[in-house]
């Protein structure tokens, strides 16, 4: 190192031999400064260094938080789908030659103004680069460098389109996380994958629909104004949407979706089968989009992927299979393994010592379809067969196969791939549940009424009113429980849906105003002769505040029809929408089992609390005026009825659990159906998209829905 001083250049040793030499030389090296610093260098030279930390904007902070949540969600989902174990199967693509988009130059905007600038660190995508195709790295470069921001991933069934989209999403998230500068990171959108099911383009714009979906699936956007915050992130380009299942909606609706997406102000990646994309493009094309077709898996890639986890040398059967893939690329097994679905299934179905070479038999497996069908038919058995190093299955292969076949038949009959657990109560006759609910409620209410009336009026009246109340309560409860058999929207997915800050604040204000009003009327003696103490006024009006909180949140159905349910009707929906979405401190994606547990735990408990609140509203004042043995029975009777009807009678989680018992008796499905569904997801037979389950692949649902071969 050379320093130029007053007397000319002076050679300074780069590395003193010891700390003592460093101090004696007067050098200052190897130091780190944080914050404002004044550094004296040489004679009379001062260098001021200042570093100010600027807090990110609320939108940037929300985008960073969303990126963390989405990455955690899809890394877990990719692990469940075994996309990363032991290493991803290489994704290769090319520019599609099918007529489903406009000219490539319309997407690259070469020589014209770009709709989207390339992501920081990437170069603009060019026509020549897209025509060369490539692998995962080139796919991310095309996604981040495409001037139009419109990418269409297409391919035949079971080509691995969704898997390619998931891997691209993870690559995009990692690229964003590795962007060091916050100013540059804000220019990299957070990719979020959504299913297109449930969108009506005639009623909602793409941004409004996506904001609604985000507010339902991510607790980050379930706070007050959460939907508006999601919409702002979309409109500012901080979110890129990966939209799956375009090929699973009806033809006219698909065309309407393509037309509506023209107005989207954010980057888009659409996933579709080639045939459906071509049909949709005849009526509406997504201007500026470029269609990239996922190529079949190369035999060499499939062989390397299958042999990767095996010991060296591999078992003879596996070695023969790999050699056949390389030497006979036109064989039936090579044709089947050109799709990622079949490659993954083969890894699941056959163990290291299993006779995988049976797939080479041209008599049993004359076509690629026959090989794929064989693998699909054994997927459930393989997933539920005990193997070393894997958790022991809770269900036998026969029981799992029977249950999944029933689910596949149900979904196929309904023409959908989405398994909404809150619609399961509509799968069985609701009358047996109504009878069971009515019997239990009638017994509880009848016995309670009998004992209370016996204490107050003697056995004669108890014998009359006890059975009468049992019959009346049982009949009314049974009628109420019938409503859970109808498919209905999901009322809430987490406790923050119900106890928003605004709803709680409104409830507290309502309680205080009501308590003060009751005290002024009944406690001061100014307006009435009653002389209720202040503490009793405040205690007995607590239910008013509790009821108001539920009414202003998404728990209004719990108090509908009770003394504390004023404002629970549909006419109050506008006010409720303003207060119902709570702010949250944590962020996570919402899975199907999470939502079911919310209903079976929190909403059931809140329903029972409604009964306690009704009793608390009546008992103190009635007891003060008329004595305990007169006031208490009135309040307890009303509270018991309110608690039973708001709790177990109308609870969706309870109705789903009871339906599971019915299905178990009639179809042989597991009694703990929700636990089974989550277990099937962990075993890569089902997947979750938000609060909805789906089969791993449409071909698996299709195969399981077929009648059993005899």
Residue 494: how many other CB atoms lie within 10 Å:
19
CA distances from 463 to 449, 452, 632 (A): 10, 11, 20
DSSP conformational letter for 145: H
Nearest-angstrom CA–CA distance, 488 and 478: 18
Domain layout of the chain by residue ranges: 2-49, 58-294, 301-377
pLDDT of residue 550: 78
Residue 20 has pLDDT above 70, yes or no: no
Predicted pLDDT at 492? 65
**Does the pLDDT at position 127 exceed 80?**
yes
* Sign of torsion over alpha carbons 311, 314, 317, 321: positive
Provide the pLDDT confidence category of residue 248 given band limits of 50, 70 and 90.
Answer: confident
Least confident of 59-73, 234-248, 603-617: 603-617
Q: Say yes or no to pLDDT of 407 above 90.
A: yes
Average pLDDT rounded to a whole number, residues 53-67: 83
2-6, 222-226, 581-585: range with lowest mean pLDDT = 581-585
The pLDDT of residue 428: 92
What pLDDT is stored for residue 290 in this prediction? 94
Report whether pLDDT(710) > 60: no
pLDDT at 546 over 90: no
Q: pTM of the full predicted structure?
A: 0.72
Q: Which of 233-237, 402-406, 445-449, 552-556 has the lowest mean pLDDT?
A: 552-556
50 pLDDT above the threshold of 80: no
The Cα-based distances of 425 to 52, 251, 524, 656 in angstroms read 58, 30, 53, 5
Tell me what pLDDT residue 589 has: 56
pLDDT tens for residues 182-232?
Answer: 889 999 999 999 988 878 898 899 999 999 999 888 888 876 678 899 999
The pairing of strands 290-294 and 93-95 is antiparallel
Residue 493: pLDDT band with limits 50, 70, 90: low
The confidence band for 386, taking pLDDT boundaries of 50, 70 and 90, is confident
171-175, 300-304, 488-492, 677-681: least confidently modelled range: 488-492
For residue 24, pLDDT beyond 50: no
**For residues 305 and 85, is the Cβ–Cβ distance under 8 A?**
no
Mean of all residue pLDDT scores within the chain:
83
Average pLDDT (6-12) is 44
Separation between Cα atoms, residue 589 and residue 692, nearest integer Å: 12
- Top-confidence residue, 481 or 531: 481
Q: Is residue 397 scored above 80 in pLDDT?
A: yes
Exposed (0-12), middle (13-18) or buried (19+): which is 103, by Cβ within 10 Å?
Answer: exposed
At 329, list the tokens: 């690329």
pLDDT of residue 578: 52
Residues of the chain above pLDDT 70, percent: 82
Residue 585 or 120, more confident:
120
User: What integer is the mean pLDDT of 276-286?
Assistant: 88
> Residues 105-111: what's their mean pLDDT?
84
The pLDDT score that the predictor gives to residue 374 is: 96
Q: Of the CATH numbers 1.10.287, 3.90.1690, 3.30.420, 3.40.50, which one belongs to the domain with range 58-294?
A: 3.40.50
Helices (H), 81-199: 104-108, 127-132, 136-145, 161-177, 182-185
Q: How far apart are CA 293 and CA 413, in angstroms?
A: 31
The pLDDT of residue 592 is 86
pLDDT value at position 584? 31
Question: Is residue 560 within 8 Å of 385, Cβ to Cβ?
Answer: no
- Greatest mean pLDDT among 73-82, 94-103, 292-301 lies in 292-301
Confidence at residue 469, expressed as pLDDT on a 0 to 100 scale? 85
CB 693 within 8 A of CB 419: yes
pLDDT for residue 12 is more than 60: no
- Across the range 48-70, mean pLDDT stands at 77
- What's the pLDDT band for 95 if we cut at 50, 70, 90? very high
Overall average pLDDT of the 305-326 stretch: 93
Q: Is pLDDT above 90 for 517?
A: no
Contact 621, 565 (CB under 8 A): no
What integer pLDDT is reported at residue 19 of this predicted model?
42
């Amino acid at each position: 190192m050379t320093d130029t001083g007053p007397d000319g250049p002076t050679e300074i040793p780069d590395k003193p031999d010891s700390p003592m030499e460093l101090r004696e030389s007067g050098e200052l090296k190897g130091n780190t400064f944080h914050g404002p610093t004044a550094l004296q260098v040489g004679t009379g030279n001062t260098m001021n260094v200042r570093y100010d930390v600027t807090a990110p904007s609320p939108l940037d902070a929300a985008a960073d938080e969303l990126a963390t949540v989405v990455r955690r969600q899809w890394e877990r989902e990719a692990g469940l789908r075994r996309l990363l174990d032991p290493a991803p199967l290489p994704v290769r693509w090319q520019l599609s030659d099918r007529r489903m988009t406009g000219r490539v130059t319309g997407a690259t905007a070469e020589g014209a103004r770009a709709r989207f600038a390339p992501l920081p660190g990437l170069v603009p995508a060019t026509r020549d680069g897209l025509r060369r195709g490539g692998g995962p790295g080139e796919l991310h470069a095309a996604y981040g460098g495409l001037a139009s921001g419109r990418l269409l991933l297409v391919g035949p069934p079971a080509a691995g389109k969704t898997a390619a989209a998931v891997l691209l999403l993870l690559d995009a998230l990692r690229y964003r996380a590795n962007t060091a500068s916050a100013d540059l990171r804000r220019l990299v959108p957070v990719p979020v994958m959504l299913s297109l099911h449930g969108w009506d383009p005639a009623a909602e714009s793409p941004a409004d629909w996506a904001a609604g979906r985000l507010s339902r699936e991510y607790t980050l956007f379930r706070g007050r104004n959460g939907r508006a915050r999601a919409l702002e992130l979309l409109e500012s380009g901080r979110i890129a949407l990966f939209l799956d299942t375009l090929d699973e909606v009806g033809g006219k609706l698909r065309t309407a979706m393509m037309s509506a997406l023209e107005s989207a102000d954010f980057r888009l990646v659409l996933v579709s089968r080639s045939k459906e994309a071509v049909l949709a493009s005849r009526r509406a094309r997504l201007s500026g989009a470029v269609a990239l077709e996922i190529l079949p898996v190369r035999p060499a890639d499939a062989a390397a992927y299958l042999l990767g986890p095996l010991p060296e040398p591999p078992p003879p059967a596996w070695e023969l299979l790999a050699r056949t893939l390389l030497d006979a690329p036109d064989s039936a097994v090579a044709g089947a393994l050109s799709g990622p679905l079949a490659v993954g299934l083969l890894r699941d179905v056959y163990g290291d010592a299993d006779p995988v070479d049976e797939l080479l038999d041209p008599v049993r497996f004359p076509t690629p379809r026959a090989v794929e069908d064989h693998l699909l038919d054994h997927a459930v058995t393989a997933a539920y067969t005990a193997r070393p190093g894997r958790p022991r299955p809770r269900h036998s292969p026969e029981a799992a196969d029977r249950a999944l076949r029933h689910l596949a038949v149900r979904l196929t009959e309904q023409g959908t791939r989405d398994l909404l657990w809150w619609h399961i109560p509509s799968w069985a006759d609701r009358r047996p549940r109504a009878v069971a609910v009515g019997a239990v409620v009638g017994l509880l209410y009848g016995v309670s009424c009998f004992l209370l009336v016996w204490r107050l009026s003697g056995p004669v009246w108890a014998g009359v009113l006890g059975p009468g109340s049992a019959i009346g309560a049982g009949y009314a409860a049974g009628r109420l429980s019938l409503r859970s058999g109808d498919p209905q929207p999901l009322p809430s997915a987490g406790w923050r849906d119900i106890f928003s800050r605004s709803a709680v604040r409104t409830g507290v204000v309502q309680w205080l105003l009501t308590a003060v009003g009751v005290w002024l009327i009944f406690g001061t003696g100014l307006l009435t002769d009653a002389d209720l103490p202040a503490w009793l006024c405040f205690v007995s009006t607590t239910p008013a505040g509790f009821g108001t909180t539920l009414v202003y949140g998404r728990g209004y159905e719990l108090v509908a029809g009770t003394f504390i349910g004023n404002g629970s009707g549909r006419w109050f929906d506008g006010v409720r929408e303003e207060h119902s979405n709570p702010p949250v401190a944590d962020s996570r994606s919402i899975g199907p089992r999470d939502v079911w547990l919310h209903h079976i735990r929190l909403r059931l408990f809140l329903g029972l609390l409604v009964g306690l609140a009704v009793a608390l509203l009546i008992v103190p004042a009635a007891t003060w005026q008329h004595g305990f043995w007169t006031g208490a029975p009135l309040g307890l009777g009303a509270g018991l009825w309110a608690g039973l009807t708001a709790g177990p009678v109308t609870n969706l989680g309870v109705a789903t659990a009871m339906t599971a018992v019915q299905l178990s008796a009639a179809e042989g499905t597991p009694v703990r159906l929700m636990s089974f569904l989550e277990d099937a997801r962990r075993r890569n037979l089902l997947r979750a998209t938000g609060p909805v389950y789906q089969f791993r692949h449409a071909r698996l649902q299709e195969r399981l829905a077929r009648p059993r071969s005899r």
